[in-house]
Amino acid sequence: MINFRTALASAVVAFFLTPFAAQADPVDDFGWILVAQVHAGIESSAVDAMITDIMDAARGNTGALVFNFARVDDKIYGYEMFDNEAAFFEHLSRVEPLVPQLLELWAPTSVVPTHALPENVLAVMQQMGAIQPDMASALVH
């Protein structure tokens, strides 16, 4: 026979500990803020459709912790954060087919890391105009 108190205690412990066990390790998280300029003459509906396409392509990558984009007039603002380098490269493989079309619509004007980027990720992001600030002075721990 199952002891009700033991079963209840186990369920309570599992309920409270499961979210912590499922959380990603934040030690190697990294991300950036992107600002882009929509090219002259591009319809806002085309930009909005591209943002939707990018979001759809990225959907399902559990290592993409944050992937938000917004269009404000002729500017694009993005905030991306990844669990680790593998998550970034999975994300890149999902959105890479859209990059040529994306660059026809807008051009990144700045990509500023919010965390120190892994060397392989920085090399990719520098191709899009990323800078690597002195993280000791850029972030307060």
pLDDT tens per residue across span 66-100: 999 999 999 999 999 999 999 999 999 999 999 99
> Which of 54, 60, 135 shows the shortest CA–CA distance to 100?
54
> Which of 127, 88, 96, 111 shows the shortest CA–CA distance to 37?
111
CA distance 21 to 118: 25
11 within domain boundaries: no
6 within domain boundaries: no
Residue 41: CATH number of its domain: 3.30.70.100
Q: 124 Cβ partners below 8 Å, 6+ apart? A: 92
Give residue 123's domain range.
25-138
In this prediction, residue 11 has a pLDDT band, given cuts at 50, 70 and 90, of: very low
Tally the domains of the chain: 1
Give yes or no for residue 50 having a pLDDT over 70. Answer: yes
> Between 13 and 27, where is the model more confident?
27
Tell me the pLDDT tens digit for each residue of 53-68: 999 999 999 899 999 9
pLDDT at position 124? 86
CA distance 86 to 75: 29
43 within domain boundaries: yes
16 within domain boundaries: no
98 within domain boundaries: yes
18 within domain boundaries: no
pTM of the predicted structure, to 2 decimals: 0.73
46 within domain boundaries: yes
In this prediction, residue 135 has a pLDDT band, given cuts at 50, 70 and 90, of: low
83 within domain boundaries: yes
CA distance 100 to 83: 26
Give yes or no for residue 139 having a pLDDT over 70. Answer: no
